[in-house]
Structure 1
Amino acid sequence: MCTRILWNTNGHAVLAGRTMDWPESTEPVLTVFPRGLERNGGMLGGTTVVEDNPLLWTSRFGSLVTTVYGAGTADGLNEGGLAAHMLYLDGTDLGPRDPARPGLQIALWIQYLLDCARTVEDALELLGACQLVPVEMRGFRATVHVALEDSSGDSAIIEYVAGRRRVHHDRGHTVMTNEPAYDEQLRLLREQVHTLRGLGHDEPSSEVPLPGNVNAVDRFQRAAYFTALLPEPADDREAVAGILAVTRNASVPFGAPYREGRFRTYNTEYRTVCDLTNRRYFFELATSPGLLWAAIERFDLSPGAPVMTLRPDGIDLVGDVSDRFAPSPAPF
């Protein structure tokens, strides 16, 4: 599920907001990784899942991320000014495994990019260095696509459909949800705009009949509409408030019905905002009352520094929580 929204035109900060929508807790942990970590892309929660030719690398950049099930990274940014977000895409097809190419289990996909790339361009160049390998986490297939953005406002959306990689690279790609694939989402958005104009809704107003359900197409169109209407903020604080307003509008209430099958109901578990200009990470858990944030510059990211973590579910957590992180064993 999930929604990602990029606001790269507000004049104060490049901001990316997202919702994490899932039918159970993903056990999110805010985690700071220093530089110089030795990684094995064939491991999943302590288990080897890529036996033949796993991708190995050493992190070049420190990062501040949200982990998923302690086995991978779902969202976050690095000190170089790159952010990445993993969203569900049921139609993901990675194609057959080629053992001649280094294999990277897909739950570590965006951590690899955050470890090694400063910009969207850098990250896209890394895609050919490995082959993504599908995995399951807690019985769920990790069929995902990824959104990237950097401090310049550049943006890319990466999907694997029918075994082939599709890259949509343009700073104008600001909204992303789930099914269908991104090119079809854009077509549906154009169709919706055409329909509204045909009904006489050439100007935005409270009478515009926006899609209001929680499916991916409705959330995409609603997020695109309200993002385009965000007023110019006075400062970066107002800019963060603006992007949060849209992510909350695109959120899924508790108990909202989805469709037949395993995902009968799901809801927004948390929301995040990556401030790529000021290197701050905002986090809002749906079951906690406070918005919290951390500044990556407050952490020691030098090689050999400890991994730092914070579980964001304490009801006393609010505001700047950079000093609430504690040393922890690396989850992967």
Structure 2
Amino acid sequence: MCLRVLNNLNNDYPVTGRNMNWFRPIEANLFQFPKGLHKQGLSLAKASKLQLDPSMIFNWQSKFASVVTMMGDEEQGFATVDGMNAEGLVVNVLYDTPATYGKPNYQDKHSNISILRWPQYILDCFKNVTQVIKYAESNSLQLIREKIPEGAGAKELRQDKIHLAVSDAAGRSAVIEIKKGKLSVYAGKENQIVTNEPDYPTQLAILTYWQYLWGKTKPAIATPIFTAPGGISPTQSFERAAFYLTLSQAVENHDDVIAQTRAFMANGAIPFAFNPSQKQYATCTRWTNLAVHKAGQYSFINPLNMMPVWLRVSADIANCAKVKLISVNTELQIVDNHRELQGDMLSYLQPCKEPYKS
């Protein structure tokens, strides 16, 4: 499943990589958003379905410009799954099998926000990991469950179990999980790798075991074993990413850190059409994001389109715009990976409506 790696081996050049793994082909767009936008945490249609008065919906105004990857479409809805703001804060949204939400409380006015819009709120309103941690530890927002766009004309959408990984230009990191509707925060620069399961404390326990075998703990093993599991399970992806990150040296310049991080993500990727169980839809890495925190460069790498594309996020973004990077024709079952797109996407952006506008 999905994999996030924060490469902060050289704190002067932190880079966050993320593999987006998904069963079905799904539409993907790069959006850019300026600061100062007024947004709402729940669509009016969803509020009506829940019998919520519009006054119950959380609204906010964005403090920072951002560039984000959104999956989904007009029919199934959009979900912010990844992005970076103009301060260099990165949010990665991963599926989280152990997440539990508890019974929602819709009583408070101006407090309800969709789980799919919550990551955009984080990008819009916080400049670094320290601020996000402070918010999460005293969160008063009610996270509303909303199924995730599934892609390829799926009739039943996927259940909305997610957790967040945040990282910033100082190389700080935190993982935020939802347990019985409450936010649990795991903060520290050493929390570099995240995947879908098990819960994050167990992921860290697994990491301790492997770091002992690699000779990186005290007491140290007398004869380190430099090996790691293969396979595509979340745990195996976590262990393999930890293997390469733990035993790699810091590199000394911007370009080398990007290349190093891209290699980490490639080692954790699932090849297209790898299908050992012969299922109708097999999980594969649909794309990889690379966020270069200090340079403000946010990249999207589609393994079926060999050239990476990117946008730069800065405080002077003036308008809402997007570029479609993966298109899915559900009737004809045709996927267009837009191989004509290469490099900087600035000239390809098209003005668009803000999908979360209040």
- Counterpart of 1:325 in structure 2 is 349
> Percent identity among equivalent residues?
26
- Counterpart of 2:194 in structure 1 is 176
- Counterpart of 2:251 in structure 1 is 233
Measured after TM superposition, the shift of residue 216 of structure 1 is 0.6
Measured after TM superposition, the shift of residue 132 of structure 1 is 1.1
Given the alignment, which residue of 110, 128, 150 partners 1:119? 128
**More deviation in 279-288 or 322-331?**
322-331
Distance 1:137 1:178, change over 3 A: closer
Unpaired runs of 5+ residues, structure 2, are 150-156, 326-336
Q: Distance between the aligned counterparts of 1:192 and 1:295, measured in 2?
A: 37
Q: Distance between the aligned counterparts of 1:263 and 1:92, measured in 2?
A: 26
- Report if the CA contact (8 A) 1:177-1:220 is conserved: yes
- Counterpart of 1:191 in structure 2 is 209
Measured after TM superposition, the shift of residue 212 of structure 1 is 0.2
| Partner SS for 2:116 | helix
Distance 1:169 1:11, change over 3 A: closer
RMSD: 2.4
TM-score, normalised via structure 1 length:
0.89
Q: Distance between the aligned counterparts of 2:214 and 2:170, measured in 1?
A: 33
Pairing of 1:180-329 with structure 2 (within 5 A)? 180-194=198-212, 201-202=223-224, 208-257=226-275, 265-297=282-314, 300-301=316-317, 305-312=318-325, 313-329=337-353
Deviations 1:127-150 (A, max 9, x none): 313121111134111210000011
Q: Distance between the aligned counterparts of 2:31 and 2:3, measured in 1?
A: 22
Q: Distance between the aligned counterparts of 1:184 and 1:259, measured in 2?
A: 27
Unpaired runs of 5+ residues, structure 1, are none
Residue 166 of structure 1 pairs with residue 184 of structure 2: yes
Distance 1:266 1:200, change over 3 A: farther
Q: Distance between the aligned counterparts of 2:72 and 2:343, measured in 1?
A: 25
Residue 96 of structure 1 pairs with residue 109 of structure 2: no
TM-score, normalised via structure 2 length:
0.83
Q: Distance between the aligned counterparts of 2:200 and 2:144, measured in 1?
A: 21
Q: Distance between the aligned counterparts of 1:237 and 1:274, measured in 2?
A: 13
| Partner SS for 1:282 | strand
- Report if the CA contact (8 A) 1:92-1:144 is conserved: yes
- Report if the CA contact (8 A) 1:23-1:263 is conserved: no
Paired letter, 2:201: D
Distance 1:69 1:264, change over 3 A: closer
Paired letter, 1:79: A
Q: Distance between the aligned counterparts of 1:211 and 1:264, measured in 2?
A: 24
Q: Distance between the aligned counterparts of 1:26 and 1:254, measured in 2?
A: 14
**More deviation in 93-102 or 147-156?**
93-102
Q: Distance between the aligned counterparts of 1:23 and 1:161, measured in 2?
A: 25
Q: Distance between the aligned counterparts of 1:158 and 1:263, measured in 2?
A: 33
Measured after TM superposition, the shift of residue 47 of structure 1 is 4.3
Q: Distance between the aligned counterparts of 2:29 and 2:20, measured in 1?
A: 13
Measured after TM superposition, the shift of residue 19 of structure 1 is 0.2
